[in-house]
Chains A and B, each alone.
Chain A
């Protein structure tokens, strides 16, 4: 065991506290502002701990602004993208590990390239395609686009998972009279659950946090997702910052909650995803 002098400990901790303060202050200020009454927002000097915290800003944005609608749009789009993406990735990963093992590497490298394409380039043709198909301002257009974001990572990760499941298990299921599809859905997928959870989580977060695609593909404000709706509120004539920050809290809360619950999964997923692909 290493021993550390009290002085050194004190020094380390003071650096951590300063770094933590800088990192987290924006979140504190978001929360603090969102709980202030409208009159106090523009007080000078600003109040660091309000004496009259209230939920007024939240009730205003939920009753008078379509923030609830934005939330619903974000949820539909993110869940839809997660379902589609995980299904596609699981099918592909199983197909490659069980039927075309030799082609798996080439496919992964191809996926890596797609993952690195600049999204602002893809948006131009995608926008024109969707407008020709009449799919602007639909959830479907966003679900399709978002499904592709995490797909490379998901396929990669699940290929790893499926490789670790012995083939004897598939074969045993087949001998027992199951079809390939039955053994895939009823035997293999349940075994790969930890991988599926990580992949689903990752996809959901990327979709939920995405901005520029929704900015381009939705022009009708009733179809805005949270990130677009919030960024658009900034452009208003006189910004109600407490309301804006309340909306930001609502946008941040689900990802923070998911993150706190499933931190370990996610950290492993992110680290593996970045290092390996």
Chain B
């Protein structure tokens, strides 16, 4: 349905005036959000591009062309961070998806308690990541932390472990915290998806003598395919640009072992005060996210659904 019938637009001058007036009212409705988005998103984004072409020293900026990009791309730090981002994102997302799907299947079986369990399982996702990360700092505290205590009682370690003090352990720790926080979201989506699988398909499969695994493999998975792709893409986008948990727990340390791209970006801008270089890193990160977003928008039904209207 178009907003304005053609007959209304043509015709007498009276309705022509009414038509123009109507458009004007329409503009008044959408103008605020446009002005707002220009001021808060579009202008800063353009400004960030401009900054990435400059060397910023305090209040003075000089145009340096692509120098920041050349510097960033020839510096090992950037490639190290890119690799860390890749490793962090792929491990975290894989675990989110695997555990989220498993949990959703589990909760789907327990129909009676599902709502209560859903509330409980979703709670890590509800608290601020920065606050969740703070709780984990205390759990992982080397000397008095409860994690070390439990592992010692269980006989898994015999001396207190400095979880955030060693590169490999610090990386593993932030993955654990990110998994704790990220699984509920995937679980929620998958649980919603499971409700859309037609029960007849399960019944038919059972009548054909399909085992539980076969029912999962040939009924559940194909039905969830679309949702799995959407959830994975969305989760990758959210994980690759996530700052809060790592910012609070390690700030990129020890020895840059957890300095993923958003953390490198923050540290370059607000610790080292090299805004031009940080903006260049940001633009490169943006390209990665943009590629993923394009993929996301293509796979989701948004375009198709909207096109049908």
Contact = CB atoms under 8 A, between A and B. Distances in A.
Chain B interface residue bracket vs A? 35 or more
Contact of B128 (A91, A112, A113, A227): A227
Contacts of A128: 47, 51, 275
B36 A23 contact: no
B190 to A, nearest CB: 10
Main secondary structure of the interface of B (DSSP, over half): helix
Contacts, number: 284
Nearest to A26: B135
Interface residues of A, number: 94
Interface stretch (A27-35, A57-65, A191-199): A27-35
B123 A46 contact: no
Contacts of B286: 117-118, 121
A181 to B, nearest CB: 8
Contact of B262 (A20, A46, A120): A120
A127 B188 CA distance: 35
A228 interface: yes
A41 interface: yes
A171 interface: no
B123 A122 contact: no
Nearest to A42: B144
A126 B44 contact: yes
Given A29-B139, A205-B126, A227-B131, A129 B47 contact: yes
Contacts of A118: 241, 262, 265, 282, 285-286, 289
A260 B139 CA distance: 25
Interface in A219-240: 226-228, 230-231, 234
B86 interface: no
A114 B185 CA distance: 21
B94 interface: no
Nearest to A121: B282
B29 A91 contact: yes
Contacts of B303: 105, 109
A275 B136 contact: no
Contact of B282 (A44, A120, A227, A248): A120
A130 B230 CA distance: 36
Given A91-B30, A276-B301, A117 B270 contact: no
B29 A88 contact: no
A101 B26 CA distance: 11
B36 A147 contact: yes
B23 interface: yes
16 contacts: A26-B136, A29-B135, A98-B26, A101-B309, A112-B296, A118-B286, A119-B241, A128-B47, A211-B243, A226-B128, A227-B131, A231-B134, A231-B247, A234-B137, A244-B134, A274-B231
